[in-house]
């Protein structure tokens, strides 16, 4: 009953005209950003974070969260129409989405993906509503040893689940941790790696690095891969379609596909480091294995589109649970969201729901409204998004770069941060080019100082002994849980490779 009271309280906050306006704006911007190939939710939130400075904190965080899950909706549009996933989370949607578009069924495919995203997102938010308070209650008993382990395990899971070379993932994480050590050591007051610069005493700020790695790095990489030359106008598989709406058969076939993969996606999203990409690929494999006609998958099967879509949206909701209840981001996008929360003076963690209920429940309630808004936007604004993805990249790229630069400068009026951002952009491009993980850098940059602080507190409590990690039951449970997750990472990667091969064959 308490949950419903809290939810109503949250709705009363979310439903004010200004908050609704920002929510709709965030959802629409998120969809547009998702529709631009290469730009994921992390880039979108990072780029637009400075724009929210003049807003009320709750409105700002609602808008940023709407950009986050709006980008998950938008990423599929290019996957269906161009066979180019907007983000890695929509790779699985190309397997059947693009064949559907080639068959002249782009309209029904886009409507069904919107329905699947809505189902996944809404089931995900319902599960957040039910589970987040329970998680918060359990994690209230966590101390510094558990927080240190969660920080460490979160990043190790991301590294272990990387599809490519895991050592490159480890190097990326170490680079992020190392960047987090720049600045004054809070325990001793000693300056570390500042080289006498007053600008670096406070450490390397997260925002320029995130904007550089995700926003600028993606732009440079797109130019490297030639996206600016081709344009997209010639290969968009969409005309003003007469048979726009899905058939009854489409709806009937997907009626169980969407909810079951939403639950699967949510559970995977809960695990720090696992994320929506793995959730969508697993959902595709699961749906194919449950189907009586697996051969149709890869040739334009509607369930092959709705399963990953439902799962990746639910996973993005699942990733909000560790963020809200532990203050630990499970993905690059939630790491950027965490930075936004901290910037607004909110400290996500076990006490957030007790100390700031209006914020926590306002955000959760706004996600219900946001998903409804996105369903409507993503169905009725399809021609607009088709127009956006037809815009030549060579014109779009310099505009995005200018917005990134101005946004970074506006945070602290610092040109050093602009150069840090541009440098991070070049590094991000080369990292992407050679198989490193910019997401691991960003996640480690956020988690590094938290890990160091909690390890320091742990060693003070234990008088310098590491035995404390084996003496506290909750620490042992966390280690066992993550050992299982990391071991299962090998299986998940096998799933991913199998699904990729099947997609390529299709």
Partner 1 sequence: MRLFFYLFILVVAICYTYIAFVDLTFFTNRGRMGPGFFPRILGLAMVIAMLLVILGDIKKNTLFSGTQDSQYKDAAVLIGFSLTFGVLLMVFGYVVAIPAYIGATLFYFNRGKYVTNAVVVVAVPVVIHFLFGSLLNASLPHGLWW
Return the range that interacts with partner 1 (CB under 8 A); candidates 60-68, 74-82, 353-361, 393-401: 393-401
CB 88 within 8 A of CB 315: no
Q: Using the rule CB under 8 A, is 215 a contact of partner 1?
A: no
Under the criterion CB under 8 A, does residue 234 sit at the interface with partner 1?
no
Structural element, H or E, at residue 266: helix 257-270
Contact mark string toward partner 1, 300..329, x via CB under 8 A? ------------------------------
Nearer to partner 1, 400 or 492 (CB): 400
25 lines the binding site for partner 1 (CB under 8 A): no
Let me know if 248 is exposed, middle or buried by CB neighbors in 10 A (0-12, 13-18, 19+).
exposed
Under the binding rule (CB under 8 A), the answer on residue 226 touching partner 1 is: yes
Select the residue interacting with partner 1 from 425, 428, 438, 503 (CB under 8 A).
425
Q: How far apart are the first and last CA of the chain?
A: 49
Give the residue with the Cβ less far from partner 1, 141 or 410. 410
Binding of partner 1 at residue 202 (CB under 8 A)?
no
Sign of torsion over alpha carbons 310, 311, 313, 318: positive
Q: Min. distance of Cβ 173 from partner 1 in angstroms?
A: 10
Token readout for 33 is 């950003």
Task: Verify binding: residue 395, partner 1, rule CB under 8 A.
Answer: yes
Shortest Å, Cβ 428 to partner 1: 11
What is the 3-state secondary structure of 94-119?
Answer: HHHHHHHHHCCCHHHHHHHHHHHHHH
Measured from the Cβ of residue 463, the count of other Cβ atoms closer than 10 Å reads: 7
Taking the least distance from each CB to partner 1, the nearer of 221 and 288 is: 221
For every residue of 399-465, DSSP letters joined together read: HHHHHHHHHHHHHH--HHHHHHHHHHHHHHHHHHHTT--HHHHHHHHHHHHHHHHHHHHHHHHTTT-
Q: Which is nearer to partner 1, 181 or 299 (CB)?
A: 181
In whole angstroms, what is the distance from residue 56 CA to residue 171 CA? 38
Task: Out of 221, 303, 472, 496, name the contact with partner 1 by CB under 8 A.
Answer: 221
Q: Determine, following the binding rule CB under 8 A, whether residue 194 of this chain makes contact with partner 1.
A: no
- The residue (of 280 and 493) whose beta carbon lies closer to partner 1 is 493
Q: Please give the structure tokens belonging to residue 155.
A: 């990043």
DSSP lists the bridge partners of residue 184 as 191
Where do contacts with partner 1 occur on this chain (CB under 8 A)? 50-51, 53-54, 165, 167-168, 170-171, 174-175, 177-178, 181, 185, 187-188, 190, 192-193, 216, 219-221, 223-226, 228-229, 392, 394-395, 397-399, 401-403, 405-406, 409-410, 413, 415, 418-419, 422, 425-426, 429-430, 433-434, 448, 452, 455-456, 459-460, 464
């Amino acid at each position: 009953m308490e949950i419903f009271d809290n939810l109503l309280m949250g709705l009363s906050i979310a439903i004010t005209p200004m908050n609704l306006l920002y929510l709709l704006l965030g959802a629409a911007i998120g969809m547009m950003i998702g529709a631009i190939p290469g730009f994921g939710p992390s880039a979108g939130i990072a780029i637009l974070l400075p724009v929210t400075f003049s807003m009320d904190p709750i409105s700002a965080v609602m808008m940023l969260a709407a950009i986050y899950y709006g980008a998950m909706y938008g990423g599929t549009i290019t996957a269906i129409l161009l066979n180019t996933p907007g983000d890695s989370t929509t790779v699985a949607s190309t397997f059947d989405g693009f064949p559907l578009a080639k068959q002249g069924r782009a309209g029904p495919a886009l409507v069904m993906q919107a329905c699947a995203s809505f189902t996944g997102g809404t089931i995900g938010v319902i599960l957040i509503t039910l589970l987040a308070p329970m998680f918060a209650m359990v994690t209230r008993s966590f101390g510094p040893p558990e927080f240190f382990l969660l920080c460490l395990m979160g990043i190790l899971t991301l590294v272990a689940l990387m599809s490519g070379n895991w050592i490159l993932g480890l190097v990326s994480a170490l680079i992020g941790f190392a960047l987090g050590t720049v600045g004054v050591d809070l325990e001793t007051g000693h300056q570390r790696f500042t080289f006498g610069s007053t600008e670096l005493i406070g450490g390397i700020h997260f925002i320029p690095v995130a904007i550089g790695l995700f926003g600028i790095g993606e732009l440079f990489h797109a130019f490297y891969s030639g996206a600016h030359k081709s344009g997209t106008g010639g290969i968009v598989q969409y005309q003003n379609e007469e048979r726009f709406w899905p058939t009854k058969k489409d709806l009937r076939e997907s009626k169980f596909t969407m909810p079951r993969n939403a639950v699967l996606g949510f559970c995977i999203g809960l695990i720090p480091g696992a994320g929506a990409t793995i959730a969508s690929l697993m959902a595709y494999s699961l749906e194919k294995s449950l189907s009586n006609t697996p051969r149709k998958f890869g040739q334009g099967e509607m369930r092959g589109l709705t399963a990953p879509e439902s799962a990746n949206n639910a996973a993005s909701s699942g990733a909000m649970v560790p963020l809200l209840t532990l203050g630990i981001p499970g993905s690059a996008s939630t790491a950027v969201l965490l930075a936004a929360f901290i910037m607004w003076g909110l400290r996500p963690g076990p006490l957030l729901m007790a100390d700031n209920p209006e914020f926590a429940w306002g955000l959760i309630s706004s996600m219900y409204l946001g998903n409804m808004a996105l369903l409507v936007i993503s169905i009725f604004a399809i021609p607009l998004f088709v127009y956006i993805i037809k815009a030549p990249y060579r014109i779009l790229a310099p505009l995005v770069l200018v917005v990134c630069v101005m946004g970074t400068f506006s945070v602290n009026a610092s040109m050093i941060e602009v150069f840090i951002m541009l440098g991070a952009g070049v590094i991000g491009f080369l990292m992407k080019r050679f198989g490193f993980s910019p997401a691991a850098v960003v996640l480690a940059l956020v988690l590094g100082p938290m890990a160091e602080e909690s390890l320091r507190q742990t060693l003070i409590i234990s008088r310098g002994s590491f035995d404390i990690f084996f003496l506290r039951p909750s620490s042992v449970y966390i280690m066992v849980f993550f050992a299982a997750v990391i071991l299962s990472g090998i299986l998940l990667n096998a799933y991913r490779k199998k699904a990729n091969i099947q997609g390529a064959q299709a």
